[in-house]
Amino acid sequence: MNALPEVKIINLGLVDYKEAWDIQEQYFRRAIDRKIARRKGEDLPIPSNYLILCEHPNVYTIGKSGKVDNLLLSSEEVESKEASFYKINRGGDITYHGPGQLVVYPILDLEQFFTDIHKYMRLLEQAVINTLLKFDIQSSRIDGMTGVWLDSALPTARKICAMGVKSSRWVTMHGIGFNINTNLEFFSHIVPCGIDDKAVTSMQNELGREIDMQEVETIIIDEFKSLFGFDIKHK
């Protein structure tokens, strides 16, 4: 029987977006370089896998295919709101990260799991859907739109989790922004994910109370472990 892949859990807490991006890039590049070296015959271990959890200070990020016009603030207005703005190398359009939002960055070598990006995206969504169910919040997908939604078939459809990923040689980076206790006012300054006819929500907004972030983190790690089929690496 083959051993399950191992994944190291890293919780960065509240961390500057650029600092977390640099950490991702470091692990991402290291995994790719190791895969290239192994294919050239070098005797190296398989790449390590990571699940990075964190929160960010207020920041807007826009993916490679995004439209800058979807940021409705000038650079001066962004600064006045004590926020920052980055053009980054993931897919997707503009989104917001801030305190109270759980961000999960999986740095996974998918060749240790499965080689199917569509399946990978759906499992990211499922981890959030399953986590929300633990709090009696029903959620689902909308065809043609990534992320996790409440009341997906109704005019009141609202997004609770955004997604944007990058992959190269089956190694992934970037991931999900899951609104737990997020200040939703910041979303009013953008066209979230380029979608202008649907609202954004959070667990706090839906349940009318502040949510224990650590409880959500514990549950979503368990969901990732179950869905992807890995063991947690403790060293």
Give the CATH number of the domain where residue 27 resides: 3.30.930.10
The catalytically annotated residue of 94, 193, 203, 221 is 193
Q: Is residue 1 part of a domain?
A: no
180 assigned to some structural domain: yes
Q: Domain range holding 42? A: 6-227
- Give the per-residue pLDDT at 131: 98
Specify the pLDDT at position 97. 96
pLDDT at 192 over 60: yes
Is the Cβ–Cβ distance between 202 and 184 less than 8 Å?
yes
Alpha-carbon Rg for the chain in angstroms: 18
Q: What is the pLDDT of residues 93-143, one digit of tens each?
A: 888 999 999 999 999 999 999 999 999 999 999 999 999 999 999 999 999
Question: 138: Cβ–Cβ under 8 A, 6 or more apart, which residues?
Answer: 132, 150
User: Tens digits of per-residue pLDDT, 7-62?
Assistant: 999 999 999 999 999 999 999 999 999 999 999 999 999 999 999 999 999 999 98
Q: Is 129 inside any structural domain?
A: yes
**Angstrom distances, CA of residue 71 to CA of 87, 93, 152, 189:** 11, 10, 25, 7
Q: Is residue 13 part of a domain?
A: yes
- For residue 46, being part of any structural domain is answered with yes
The rounded distance, in Å, linking the Cα atoms of 28 and 73 is 32
**Domains of the chain: total:** 1
Residue 235 within any structural domain of the chain? no
State the pTM of this model.
Answer: 0.94
54 is catalytic: no
Return the amino acid letter for 23.
I
Q: Is 234 part of a structural domain of the chain?
A: no
The share of the chain scoring above pLDDT 90, in percent, equals: 77
Percent of the chain with pLDDT over 70: 97
Helices 213-228 and 117-133, packing angle to 10 deg: 140
Residue 222 and residue 141: Cα distance in Å, rounded?
21
Integer Cα distance of 72 and 155 in angstroms:
24
Any domain includes 115: yes
